[in-house]
């Protein structure tokens, strides 16, 4: 049985390279939904310092799902959404 290394319930080990150093960052999330391309910019994430693997918190994952559902409902072939504007969350200084 593999035991996950956690601190305060948060996984601190990279799933790709097993490095334990991650930094707060932002990324661009892109998904192709039935021929519609949806791009969400400025998404907060934790990024592995070694390999660049991206991890989203549960809260960010839920908000991404909501943003994607809203974009799909608009039926555009291509949508670009800013995470901060879509969620009303200001970027941390």
DSSP secondary structure string for all residues of 39-83: EEEEEEEEEETTT--EE--HHHHHHHHHHHHHHHHHT-SEEEEEH
Is the pTM higher than 0.85? The answer reads no
Per residue of the chain (93 residues), give pLDDT as tens. Answer: 333 444 344 556 888 999 989 999 999 999 998 888 999 999 999 999 999 999 899 999 999 999 999 988 887 788 898 999 988 866 554
Residue 19: closest CA among 57, 58, 53, 61: 53
Instruction: List domains and CATH numbers for the chain.
Output: 21-87 (3.10.20)
Q: What 3-state DSSP class applies to 60?
A: helix
Give the pLDDT confidence score for residue 93 in this predicted structure.
42
């Amino acid at each position: 049985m593999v035991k996950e290394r956690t601190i305060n319930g948060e996984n601190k080990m990279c799933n790709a390279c097993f490095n334990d150093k991650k930094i707060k960052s932002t990324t661009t999330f892109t998904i192709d939904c039935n021929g519609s391309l949806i791009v969400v910019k400025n998404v907060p994430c934790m990024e592995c310092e070694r390999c660049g693997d991206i991890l989203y918190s549960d809260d960010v994952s839920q908000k991404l799902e909501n943003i994607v559902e809203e974009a799909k409902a608009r039926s555009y072939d291509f949508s670009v959404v800013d995470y901060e504007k879509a969620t009303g969350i200001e970027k941390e200084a």
